[in-house]
Structure 1
Amino acid sequence: MSRDLPSLNALRAFEATARLGSVSRAAEELHVTHGAISRQLRVLEQALGQPLFTRLGRGIALTAVGEQLRDRVANAFDQLRDGWSELQRSRGQAPFVLSCPSSLLARWVIPRLDRLERDLPALRLHLSPEEDPLAPQRAEPDAALVLAAAPWPAGWQVHELAPERIGPVVSPRYPGLVRLREHGPAALENEALLHTSSRPQAWPTWAKAGDVQAALHYGQGFTRLFYMLEAAVAGLGVAIAPEQLVQDDLDAGRLLAPWGFRQTDAQWILAAPRRRNDSRIEALAAWLRRALAPSADAQKSLD
């Protein structure tokens, strides 16, 4: 019986296209041209004598044969990845790749990195900044630390670590501090609020949770939460942020949280690919839960 297989490149092209639902995205992930992916797909279709994809509007969809091949190929590539990862770990060559958005990395992970490495010395942590680490990408991390709301994306095992709590924060040097002290949240109506383009719903979410009636007006916007909080520390305005990301600033007196923090429907989570079987993930999740637990000084006010 013949044991011939089609080209591995053709199978990789098919697996990426089936997973991402796009020839263009598959080409981008594999760093080849759109035409190269199309040629590899034609090789498979000619070998099978049947189409693997059909047109669906402006996109593509798998045929019944394509679905069968996708399931088998995806499983085979998963086994190859897992086997390779296990071989690397057994030889002590593979660090633990933790992906997280750059603002979480800069404001929460890095300040705690010494303690993390001291408590979990076997982890051999490698940090990978990625704004959307749960999105399909070429190289999956061992785990991703993110703030997100359910439902969780398919293919990930999610460890819930702590609820997200957000609130306004302001520098003690801010010129409008007296007004905020005297009038409470209603004074925000007269503020040009600092905000981020990555999360424009943060202010309305907080206001709704606390039944704040003030009409909110946006001022300077930033592409990253990290930049917005640096502006707040510099006394340039009132920002809004997750509690844990500003806790060090609150403890040091660089920022104040005039009305505390309110819980949202989001969570701090540690997500790992479902097929990944790595005891380090459970150890890291337990450490993160302890580190994210609120301290006695978790809330400060202007009073």
Structure 2
Amino acid sequence: MHQEIPGLSNCNLCGNSEFQLLFRGNIGGDVGSRFSQYAYYDDIYRCNNCRLVAQRQLHDGEAIKQFLQEEKYLDEAIGNLNLVEKHFQFTVLTKIIEKHTAFEDHELLDVGANTGVFLSSIKDRVKSAQGIEASKEATHAARTIHGLDVQAGLIAEVELPDDQFDIITMFDVIEHLTDPINDLKILFQKLKPGGKIFITTHDIETLLAKISGRHYPMLMYQHFFHFSPKTLAKMLEANGYKMIGFKRFLKSWSFEYIYHLIEKMWPETKLAKNLQAVLNPLYRIPSVRKFRIVSPQRDFFMLIAEKPNSDNN
């Protein structure tokens, strides 16, 4: 029986029109200021057929594009700290990539390049390094601070030649896409035959996600889809990719970053103020601020897929 759900017509993966409501949304009408805040989201559904988890999208593509373009990364303490945290995380991801391909003499595209932290760390090892980034501020920073070749725009908008790249990276980006199956189709065309794509995201099927329920930190308005390894693999295979690798990995954050993240997760609440008040004596100690706290579970994963050579099709 077809369900009429405003902002959610058919499953992006399988086309099914029957869904189960997982969590009722709480974002209200103030989407602009809460677009990237934790704990605010619209209604979350799971496809009854393939189990892809999706948030209904009540804003049209242009409105969402504007939200993405206006995303800020450098105007607050948590934003600057996030750049430092990315260096730690990209070290882990780079090691995983190196087990599947070499960087040398290869052309690389980073989708969701942000301010260019990953591209700047790898640009001297590859033949060419390009990026795509929706945020105008982040694109400007990538170009001016790091001197990188980063295009501003969405995947469906930017001009890139087909069969161009040996490596495409998408780190914590796929969940932000409003039409991921079509975007993966476009990126498939940009890969050379034999080229590989590396995608990371959170796993909506982990124990932490199930226990946290509606309080799961990754539920936020700018996360339009929530994948498991199985649903993401199905979406890649539906676009012609061949799966060649899977790896779970841990994330870690400095005490300083988590201290500031509390306000980001529960903005202007007594909970945030009380937590920060309790942690403040520790925060004052420089060595404690740098102490790294590791996620208790491997809630994040990387899928590796390739565009088959024509003689292997």
Structure 2-normalised TM-score? 0.28
- Higher Cα Rg: structure 1 or 2? 1
Structure 1-normalised TM-score? 0.29
Instruction: Compare the two structures and name the one with the higher helix fraction.
Output: 1
